[in-house]
Structure 1
């Protein structure tokens, strides 16, 4: 299941739970869900179709011939995703 499907399936539940507390919390819940689902695609090579497309195009380019593995992407993806998520959640709060 990809991030978009998770948002579509869980978004209404998250918003309803937050709305039970207050309207401000409902808005904040939608912002957090949007932020995290956007950034989550950067976590791994398989997290986003765009990641796979760029990886394949870099591999096919004759002047580059670069091969990006799942693990080499993960070394960058995990720290950058955690940092960007922490900054975004701090700004949203």
Structure 2
């Protein structure tokens, strides 16, 4: 995976993407934190953290020394919580979904669909993300 991520990074596409949104990601503003958090929530996975981490920290360091630490905390918090957003957000989610499907014997069985998970995952992820970001602030 690390080789694939490095190869993808060398294409220049991640830098191009970051350059197009960087002006909206000042983490000393509420809107900047919201943009960064949204990008991380949507794209969150290990490659995203590897590709965005150093870019995000470097941009924050230009604002102030304390902002770099804040950037890493935001990235760590949001990428961790983002795994709860959808079934695809975490391998653990897929394992639990499969185990629930295998146990689908009445009356205990339950088929966990993408939509069923999203009904809980979306609001809970947004709430927990917001609470954590307020603590980091």
Report the alpha carbon displacement of residue 61 of structure 1 after superposing the two structures with TM: 2.5
Are residue 47 (structure 1) and residue 89 (structure 2) matched?
yes
Aligned to 2:19: none
TM-score (ref. length: structure 1): 0.93
State the SS of the aligned residue for 1:67.
coil
Judging changes above 3 Å, is the alpha-carbon distance between structure 1 residues 34 and 78 closer, same or farther for their aligned structure 2 residues?
A: same
Q: Which runs of 5+ in 1 are unaligned?
A: none
CA contact (8 A) 2:97 2:111 kept: yes
Q: Which runs of 5+ in 2 are unaligned?
A: 1-42
TM-score (ref. length: structure 2): 0.64
Are residue 4 (structure 1) and residue 46 (structure 2) matched?
yes
Judging changes above 3 Å, is the alpha-carbon distance between structure 1 residues 7 and 24 closer, same or farther for their aligned structure 2 residues?
A: same
CA contact (8 A) 2:104 2:111 kept: no
Cα distance between partner residues in 2 of 1:92 and 1:34: 11
Tell me the alpha carbon deviations over residues 43-89 of structure 1, each in whole angstroms, 9 at most, x when there is no partner. Answer: 11111110000110121126532110000100001100010000000
Are residue 59 (structure 1) and residue 135 (structure 2) matched?
no
Report runs of 4+ in structure 1 exceeding 4 Å deviation.
none
Structure with the larger RCO, 1 or 2 (CA within 8 Å, 6+ apart): 1
CA contact (8 A) 2:87 2:93 kept: yes
Are residue 29 (structure 1) and residue 59 (structure 2) matched?
no
Q: How many residues of Structure 1 are paired with residues of Structure 2 in the alignment? A: 93
Judging changes above 3 Å, is the alpha-carbon distance between structure 1 residues 2 and 35 closer, same or farther for their aligned structure 2 residues?
A: closer
Report the alpha carbon displacement of residue 2 of structure 1 after superposing the two structures with TM: 5.3
